[in-house]
Chains A and B, each alone.
Chain A
Amino acid sequence: MATEARLNLLAPGHRACPGCGAAIALRLILRPLGKETIVVSATGCVETFTSPYGQSAWDVPWMHSLFENSAAIATGVQAALEALGEQANLVVISGDGGTFDIGFGALSGMFERKDNITYICYDNEAYMNTGVQRSGSTPHAAVTTTTPSGSHSYGKLEYKKDMPAIAMAHDAEYVATTSIAYPQDLMRKVKKANEIYGPKYIQVHTPCCIGWGFDPSETIELGRLAVETCLVPIFEKEKGKPMVVKKIANKKPITDYLKKQNRFKHLFKEEERDAVIKELQQICDDNARRFGI
């Protein structure tokens, strides 16, 4: 493929950790959108590592205000574009903290108003930017700094919030999940969402080597394992059309995924934690049945 076809709108020199999944997600999101794009970001890893003062890594117009209001800011940008009679692809790129927890109200409002915005959540399953605190997206039994394991706890007791289902309940035009381990799938879904008018939601699974505790070179491998174990179902749902699910021919046991990460290491130290592993396997089996993976 020619160099021009491999459009790169995230400049090198940004301050992401080596092996950052979110940085990979950004590059893949921006490629199909092209130069005529306005990006709004919530506070989070992406905002921090791409925008030290005077050294922005964005080659497209980019805007940041607060943690909770990225969807509302995007609505304002859309209103401004309409007032000026101009056209641009408008996307929000926000982390799981800014989507599942803090920015949830503004996102719900965006869906309700039917604004023409593609909301993309890069889901690294905790507040990585501030030092790995649990979020609504952290999976069951994972250790974070606010959900430690010990004699009275085995990590996060709650379950991961089903954000795509909430987006579908808002009657969004297009809802999809994808992973950085499947770049063609990711780019196709972003391109498709961008061509649909109305509110769209895409959730990108992005492994984080620092927060999850694995070697930086394994970022893509972990993303792939999450999908192959059915813990992260990959699907797309266009309004009025049946859901399309990515099928997995050879499903892997959940232990393949858990053993590679320090955040699940405690589950393999004591025998009584076997029940927790079984429960996580049950979540995967339920996903496989529910989505027909």
Chain B
Amino acid sequence: MLTEGAVCEGGKSRLNKTGNWRTMRPEVADTCNGCGLCELFCPDSSIYLQEKRAVIDYDYCKGCGICARECPKGAIEMKEERK
């Protein structure tokens, strides 16, 4: 029996859309070959691979720019976020 503390359901941070933190927006060019390095390095779990190409989930991407800097093909470009 739990006497003190709290138990929560996992994975509920998805409710918190962190995409609005972003000031710079990464955009993937056609030169992407889907190596997946950006997916490994994304701290926000907001890059996934689809049909050998990196796809960015703008709902959660905070725009840190690690993907653009580490891309061996230089296929990700950081552009100013405009809304």
Which A residues form the contact surface with B (CB < 8 A)?
A: 1, 3, 6, 8, 10-16, 18-21, 23-24, 27-28, 50-62, 180, 183, 215-221
Q: Are A217's CB and B41's CB within 8 A?
A: no
Which single member of B13, B18, B40, B64 contacts A216 (CB below 8 Å)?
A: B64
Task: List 17 additional A-B contacts (Cβ < 8 Å) besides A3-B48, A12-B44.
Answer: A1-B49, A11-B45, A12-B13, A12-B46, A13-B16, A13-B18, A14-B16, A18-B21, A18-B63, A23-B44, A28-B40, A52-B13, A53-B6, A183-B40, A183-B41, A220-B41, A220-B70
27 A–B contacts, CB within 8 A, in A order: A3-B48, A6-B48, A8-B48, A11-B10, A11-B14, A11-B45, A12-B18, A12-B57, A12-B59, A12-B60, A14-B13, A15-B13, A16-B44, A18-B44, A19-B66, A20-B43, A28-B40, A54-B8, A54-B12, A55-B16, A56-B9, A56-B13, A57-B13, A58-B10, A61-B10, A219-B64, A219-B66
Q: Are B44's CB and A14's CB within 8 A?
A: yes
Q: How far is the CA of A21 from the CA of B68 in the complex (A)?
A: 16
Considering the complex, give the chain A residue whose CB is closest to the CB of B17: A13
Q: Are A15's CB and B64's CB within 8 A?
A: no
Considering the complex, give the chain B residue whose CB is closest to the CB of A2: B49
Shortest 10 CB-CB contacts between residues of A and residues of B: A217-B65, A19-B64, A23-B43, A12-B60, A18-B64, A57-B13, A13-B13, A18-B62, A216-B64, A13-B16
Q: Are B45's CB and A55's CB within 8 A?
A: no
Q: Which residues of A contact B39 (CB under 8 A)?
A: 6
Which single member of B10, B40, B66 contacts A62 (CB below 8 Å)?
A: B10
Q: Which residues of A contact B66 (CB under 8 A)?
A: 19, 24, 216-217, 219-220
Q: Are B49's CB and A6's CB within 8 A?
A: yes
Q: What DSSP secondary structure best describes chain B's contact surface?
A: loop
Q: Which residues of B contact A51 (CB under 8 A)?
A: 8
Q: How far is the CA of A57 from the CA of B45 in the complex (A)?
A: 11
- Minimal beta-carbon separation of A223 from chain B (angstroms): 10
Q: Which residues of B contact A216 (CB under 8 A)?
A: 64-66
Which single member of A6, A60, A180, A218 contacts B69 (CB below 8 Å)?
A: A218
Considering the complex, give the chain A residue whose CB is closest to the CB of B69: A217
Which single member of B6, B14, B40 contacts A13 (CB below 8 Å)?
A: B14
Q: How far is the CA of A105 from the CA of B43 in the complex (A)?
A: 31
Q: Are B40's CB and A11's CB within 8 A?
A: no
Q: How far is the CA of A56 from the CA of B36 in the complex (A)?
A: 26
User: Which residues in window 11-69 of B have CB below 8 A to A?
Assistant: 11-18, 21-22, 36, 39-46, 48-50, 57, 59-60, 62-66, 68-69
Q: Are B43's CB and A13's CB within 8 A?
A: no
Considering the complex, give the chain B residue whose CB is closest to the CB of A20: B43
Q: Which residues of B contact A62 (CB under 8 A)?
A: 10
Q: Which residues of B contact A28 (CB under 8 A)?
A: 40
- Minimal beta-carbon separation of A75 from chain B (angstroms): 18
Which single member of B11, B21, B70, B78 contacts A59 (CB below 8 Å)?
A: B11
Q: Which residues of B contact A16 (CB under 8 A)?
A: 43-44
Q: Are B69's CB and A220's CB within 8 A?
A: yes
